[in-house]
Amino acid sequence: MEIINAQKIINKIEQNDARWLYDHFSESFQDISSFEELEKLLNRYNTLRSENVLFRHLNINRHDEYIWFDNKMATGASVTLNKYQEIIGMSLLPISHKHNVKQSKYQYTIPIKTSCLVYWGGDNELINFHYRFKQQRHALDLVKIKDGYTYKGNSNECANYYSYGLPIVAPANGVVEAIVDGIPDNTPGDINTVHPEGNYIIIKHARNEYSMIAHIKANSFKIEKGDTLLRGQHIANVGNSGNTPEPHIHFQVMKDKNIQVAQTLKIQFQNVTAPVKGDIVTYTGDQIMVNEKREPSKLTKGIRSNITHLFKS
């Protein structure tokens, strides 16, 4: 089996070597990606980029994901390999800059008291899958990792995931505005598109400022609508309900309690951190601690190839 590393991949991208890249796509990725599309994508990407710099290398569940931004933050690239060293995901994007992003009025902590990986988070689509949707743009997805895995044993059982059942805590003082409960957990790998948020809670923190935590375990709520909450108070447990391939926490702050129309706010955290994809975040009392912090504060739009998002090996 050919060993592929980050440098070889980015060299082939920069050399417009569509044939080598396509030949290293997995069969399933070739089925949804045309060679001609890849050629066009590489040509356009390479006319925009400057010198690439490796931003992150994530190894989760025997998948390697490499992320680059160029040194002018004009473009970004992401490639994911499976355990057989086949390319199962690729994204090449232009990065546009946006100023005056609306932030939350209040400062928050992460809604869990254990160290977690930020799987999706940041100010562009390359590192935050939610970014393309204004109702979720500044959301974070948090997942518990141990020794490079999100689970142990049979990956088809929720209970085997390290995130599953962990206590969820209030990210700031507030009042419970709404609770949706009773939606069963999915079998990992399956998703519920009818109820994408699954079980969730909305907390009012101030006028026109609400937080939402989604994919909660059914019948795990410790509080009720109308209850007053204190930061760090246990409110429920992590589940796998809704549009989610495996147990994790979805956390966002928004201007309205109606999740169908609300625009998210960029979350201000207690110690003025801005965690992004690949950061390890830890709750420490009224603050959070971030390891390996990076700050590519940009937006993305436009060209991209098919993106495969697979948590499981």
Determine the pLDDT at residue 290: 67
Q: What is the pLDDT of residues 163-220, one digit of tens each?
A: 999 999 999 999 999 999 999 999 999 999 999 999 999 999 999 999 999 999 999 9
Tell me how far the alpha carbon of residue 245 is from its chain's centroid: 12
* Residue 158 pLDDT: 98
Q: Please state, in angstroms and rounded to a whole number, the distance separating the CA atoms of residues 64 and 53.
A: 17
Same domain, 153 and 231: yes
Say how far apart CA 225 and CA 145 lie, in whole Å.
32
pTM above 0.85?
A: yes
Query: Does some domain include residue 21?
Result: yes
Over the stretch 8-26, which tens digit does the pLDDT of each residue have?
Answer: 999 999 999 999 999 999 9
Specify if 301 maps to a domain: no
pLDDT of residue 26: 97
Residue 307 lies in a domain: no
Is the residue at 148 inside a domain? yes
Q: What is the structure's pLDDT at 272? A: 65
pLDDT by residue (tens digit) across 212-236?
Answer: 999 999 999 999 999 999 999 999 9
Task: Please name the residue that has the structure tokens 């957990």.
Answer: 185
Query: How many structural domains comprise the chain?
Result: 2
Amino acid, single-letter form, for residue 72: K
Domain shared by 122 and 232, yes or no: yes
Q: What are the two backbone dihedrals, phi and then psi, of residue 93, each rounded to the nearest 5 degrees? A: -135, 145
Question: Has residue 149 been placed in a domain?
Answer: yes
Residues 88 and 120 both lie in one domain: no
Question: Scanning the structure block, which residue is given the tokens 């390999």?
Answer: 81
Is 103 inside any structural domain? no
Do residue 263 and residue 194 come from a single domain?
yes
Q: Which CATH number do you get for residue 215?
A: 2.70.70.10
Apex CA 121: angle with CA 119 and CA 124, to 5°? 125
Which CATH number covers residue 73? 3.10.450
Same-domain status, 53 and 200 = no
Does the pLDDT of residue 304 top 50, yes or no?
Answer: no
Cβ atoms 276, 291 nearer than 8 A: no
End-to-end CA distance of the chain: 18
- Assess whether 88 and 130 both reside in one domain: no
Mean pLDDT of the chain: 90
CB 193 within 8 A of CB 275: no
Average pLDDT over residues 37-56: 97
Number of alpha carbons in the 13 Å side-chain half-sphere of residue 285? 1
Same-domain status, 216 and 157? yes
The first and second tokens of residue 44, run together, are 């356009």
Residues 6+ away with beta carbon under 8 Å from 89: 29, 65, 78, 79, 80, 306, 307, 308, 309, 310
- In DSSP terms, which residues pair with 282 in a beta bridge? 289
Residues 6+ apart with CB under 8 A from 81: 4, 63, 64, 65, 87, 88
Same domain, 217 and 183: yes
pLDDT at position 293 = 43
For residue 29, the model assigns a pLDDT of 97
In a shared domain, residues 225 and 266 = yes
For residue 145, being part of any structural domain is answered with: yes
Q: What range defines the domain where residue 30 resides?
A: 6-94
Q: What is the pLDDT of residues 255-267, one digit of tens each?
A: 999 998 899 999 9
Same domain, 129 and 87: no
Decide if 199 is inside a domain. Answer: yes
Is 214 found in the same domain as 137?
A: yes
Q: Is 69 helix (H, G, I), strand (E, B) or coil?
A: strand
pLDDT of residue 301: 30
Residues 165 and 285 in one domain: yes
